[in-house]
């Protein structure tokens, strides 16, 4: 199904830029979820530092991986981006709550921005929904 004529066809360069931008957060989130699912020592120490019990690792790892998989699937990528935004927002809040340095707080924000930016570049539906266009006078 074609969308409205408001969006111009995307170039191959733009499409590939969208895939690359979207792949960066996917790789980071898959790595992060695998650390949680395997209960890697770094993840266990991190949970303790953040004030969460180790028993939450499995659930958080499954949630993170599920949101990422939903983002990867083209038909559900917008829903995945919305879910990842919520997940990453929780990470921001957690880091702020414990007083982590700004660098810890900004990483989930950057991951979310990369996910949405990559999706925007490669998804015609999103560009139709949020059209960034110059104002002609």
Q: Supply the pLDDT for residue 2.
A: 47
Domain ranges (residues) in the chain? 12-129
What distance, in Å, lies between the first and last C-alpha atoms of the chain? 32
pLDDT (tens digit per residue) in 63-105: 999 999 999 999 999 999 999 999 999 999 999 999 999 999 9
pLDDT of residue 3 exceeding 50: no
- Report the candidate in 103, 117, 68, 59 with the shortest Cα–Cα distance to residue 88: 68
> Which pair of structure tokens corresponds to residue 7?
């969006």
Alpha carbon distance 116, 36 (integer Å)? 24
The pLDDT of 96-118, averaged and rounded, is 95
């Amino acid at each position: 199904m074609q969308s409205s004529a408001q969006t111009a066809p995307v170039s191959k360069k733009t499409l590939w830029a969208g895939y690359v931008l979207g792949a960066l957060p996917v790789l980071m989130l898959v790595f992060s979820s695998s650390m949680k699912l395997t209960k890697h020592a770094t993840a266990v120490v991190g949970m303790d530092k953040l004030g969460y019990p180790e028993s939450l690792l499995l659930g958080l790892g499954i949630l993170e991986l599920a949101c990422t998989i939903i983002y990867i699937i083209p038909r559900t990528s917008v829903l995945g981006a919305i879910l990842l935004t919520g997940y990453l927002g929780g990470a921001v809040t957690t880091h702020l709550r414990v007083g982590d340095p700004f660098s810890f707080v900004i990483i989930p924000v950057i991951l979310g921005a990369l996910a949405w930016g990559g999706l925007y570049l490669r998804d015609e539906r999103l560009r139709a929904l949020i059209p960034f266009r110059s104002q002609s006078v």
